[in-house]
Amino acid sequence: MLEEYKRKRDFGATPEPAGRPGETCGDRFVVQEHHASHLHWDFRLEMDGVLKSWAVPKGPPLEPGVKRLAVQVEDHPVEYIDFAGTIPADQYGGGTVEIWDAGRFTLEERREDRLSFELHGQKLVGSYALIRTGPGKNWLLMKRSPKKTARQE
Ligand code: MN
């Protein structure tokens, strides 16, 4: 699943990881602030032995009711989860990458067109959903309202 990732990069020229064989998959997520030709935030979930990845031009929402475009991009190696640094300007994604948030997630629902999960990060905390908007790569990332708990009588 990393063919596209590897095809786009020259590992002799970029400090980004090529990925290690046999990496195991956990339940972590990361958001990397990427100052490339256009500033965006890369939202990545550890799934299926890779980091499923979306580029979010305006950044992940912190409040419920805000929907942010999230464009699915190529899977990244799990090793990318703590990558921060400078990608040379003439390389794919050239610019600086810093960790904006990181933590664990709990998957609640997974369908072809919808992912629901609880994020346990520093900035991103609570229930989130990624909803695919059509047959292309566009999804919406949104924070969901906290579940109302039944009040004790
Ligand atoms: Mn990026």
Confidence (pTM)? 0.92
What's the pLDDT score for residue 25?
Answer: 72
* Cα 125 to ligand 1 centroid, rounded to whole Å: 22
Asked, for residue 102, whether it belongs to a domain, the answer is yes
Q: What is the pLDDT of residues 84-120, one digit of tens each?
A: 999 999 999 999 999 999 999 999 999 999 999 999 9
18 lies in some domain: no
**Ligand 1 centroid vs 137 CA: distance in angstroms?**
15
**Is there a domain that residue 150 lies in?**
no
CA distance 110 to 123: 23
| CA 153 to ligand 1 center in whole angstroms | 50
Examine residue 19 and state whether it is found in any structural domain, yes or no: no
State the distance from the centre of ligand 1 to the C-alpha of 108, rounded, in angstroms: 26
Residues around ion ligand 1, judged by CB within 5 A, are: 34, 42
Q: Which residues of the chain have pLDDT under 70?
A: 147-153
CA nearest neighbour of 142 among 72, 71, 73, 60: 60
| Residue 86 belongs to a domain | yes
Task: State which residues form the domain around 89.
Answer: 3-8+25-143
Overall number of domains in the chain: 1
Q: How far is the centre of ligand 1, averaged over its atoms, from the C-alpha of 111 (Å)? A: 24
Q: Which of 96, 64, 101 is nearest to 82 (CA)?
A: 101
pLDDT of residue 4: 95
